[in-house]
DNA sequence: GTCATTTTGACAGCATGCTGACATAATGAC
DNA sequence: GTCATTATGTCAGCATGCTGTCAAAATGAC
């Protein structure tokens, strides 16, 4: 972790901001959802079906998680009365997750509070600041991804069917 | 998630970059540590004792995790031969974690590769870019933390002894 | 020296995310 | 209609992080 590059300590400059941001946002999400007895993960899954019932695999696709992960949360959410499973007329297996009225209300309140958070934080920055943050982060991600692609040893990952959300979340 | 603030969609501008950065960095860490048969968490714990043996609670303090989390990883690392427990002359209970030669070599290689990653990515940015990223992220964290402090309902969290690394990681 | 407090290690359990496997339903080629 | 492929749901297990709880060791007040 010693600063020995011409650019200064690139490692620190890159990693610490990302971790700090992520940790703070997770904490904010937990603060907002906790009073409604929902976890951030449950909120995300429930929020995905606000605009209409969806099967587990479609929810997973939309929020960028695996079917298996979403399935567990969805079952939990349904078990606690925030949503229900309804039959799918087109597919015998793919039951649809649909929020109950209670779930709909909770999500609505959370969405409002979360927007308040975003507005309050965002108000402290100029549009240019926010744009710069997005642009910089995007470039960093692209640069790291390019490095990973150039460095990887194995074959270039054949066209598997399932492995959608994989590499980006392998660590923690 | 609709853009209705004067600053544009603050929610998207704040959250997406943070998640993207975090996910990419975790993936990079996993890519670097995996060939050495270490996980990012093991690397972090082992790296903490490179400069000298430390007890679990001190490692936890340094890397910002709980004693319990570090303890599990440390036991795992020791069980796999990357480190050993040595008696602490000053404290009968607090055994010291000390890397084996094998562990020291693995960590050394990982540190080098990780610096290569940081240099490669950092080289694509000006010093001003990196400075701006750090500064912006720091301001965002400060702003969100201020919002949380102003919004929290319960009492201002009395001076508990243990609860060090808590809120910042409650979500995931 | 004794006793309350703090520190530390440890065990148990929860929350999330992942991957690996399987079985079954849906689809499409033939 | 049959059969290989794809999509899905589901079970099992791993990796990390957290909190809760205890017991023992270390410390400090007296």
User: What are the pLDDT digits (tens) for A27-40?
Assistant: 999 999 999 999 99
pLDDT score for A165: 54
pLDDT tens-digit readout, A123-138: 999 989 999 999 999 9
pLDDT tens-digit readout, A48-96: 999 899 999 999 999 999 999 999 999 999 999 999 999 887 787 788 9
Which uninterrupted H or E stretch holds B20? helix B10-33
pLDDT score for B152: 66
Any residues with CB less than 8 A from the CB of A46 and at least 6 apart, and which? A38, A77, A82, A83, A99, A103, A106, A107
Supply the DSSP symbol for A51.
Answer: T
Number of Cβ atoms within 10 Å of the Cβ of B22: 25
Protein CA A55 to sugar C1' D2 (Å): 29
More confident residue, B87 or B163: B87
Closest C-alpha among B13, B70, B118, B97 to residue A6: B118
More confident residue, B171 or B103: B103
pLDDT score for B167: 42
Supply the DSSP symbol for B165.
Answer: S
Closest nucleotide to A65: CA versus each C1': C17
pLDDT tens-digit readout, B29-39: 999 999 999 99
Statement: the CB of B91 is under 7 Å from strand D: yes
Residues of A in contact with B18 (CB under 8 A): 18, 21-22, 25, 137
State the average pLDDT for chain B: 83
Q: What Å distances lie between residue B49 and A152, B43, B134, CA to CA? A: 29, 10, 27
pLDDT tens-digit readout, B58-80: 999 999 999 999 999 999 999 99
> Distance, in angstroms, between A92 CA and closest chain B CA?
32
| Chain A residue closest in CA terms to B40 | A171
State the average pLDDT for chain A: 83
Gap between the Cα atoms of A120 and A148, Å rounded: 36
Kindly indicate the confidence band of residue B2, based on its pLDDT and cuts at 50, 70 and 90. Answer: very low
Gap between the Cα atoms of B105 and A171, Å rounded: 22
Gap between the Cα atoms of A32 and A28, Å rounded: 6
First to last CA, chain B: 21
Cα atoms in the Cβ-side hemisphere of radius 13 Å centred on B63: 26
pLDDT score for B164: 53
pLDDT score for A153: 55
């Amino acid at each position: 972790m010693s600063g020995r590059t011409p650019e200064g300590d690139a490692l620190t400059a890159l990693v610490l901001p990302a971790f700090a941001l992520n940790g703070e946002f997770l904490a904010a999400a937990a603060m907002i959802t906790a009073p409604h007895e929902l976890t951030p993960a449950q909120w995300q899954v429930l929020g995905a079906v606000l605009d209409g019932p969806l099967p587990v695999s479609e929810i997973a696709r939309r929020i960028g998680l695996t079917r298996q992960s979403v399935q567990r949360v969805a079952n939990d959410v349904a078990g606690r009365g925030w949503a229900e499973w309804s039959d799918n007329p087109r597919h015998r297996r793919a039951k649809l997750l649909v929020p109950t009225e209670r779930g709909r209300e909770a999500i609505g309140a959370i969405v409002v509070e979360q927007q308040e958070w975003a507005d309050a934080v965002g108000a402290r920055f100029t549009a240019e600041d926010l744009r710069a943050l997005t642009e910089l982060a995007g470039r960093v991600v692209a640069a790291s991804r390019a490095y990973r692609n150039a460095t990887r040893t194995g074959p270039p990952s054949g066209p598997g069917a399932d492995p959608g959300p994989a590499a980006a979340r392998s660590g923690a």
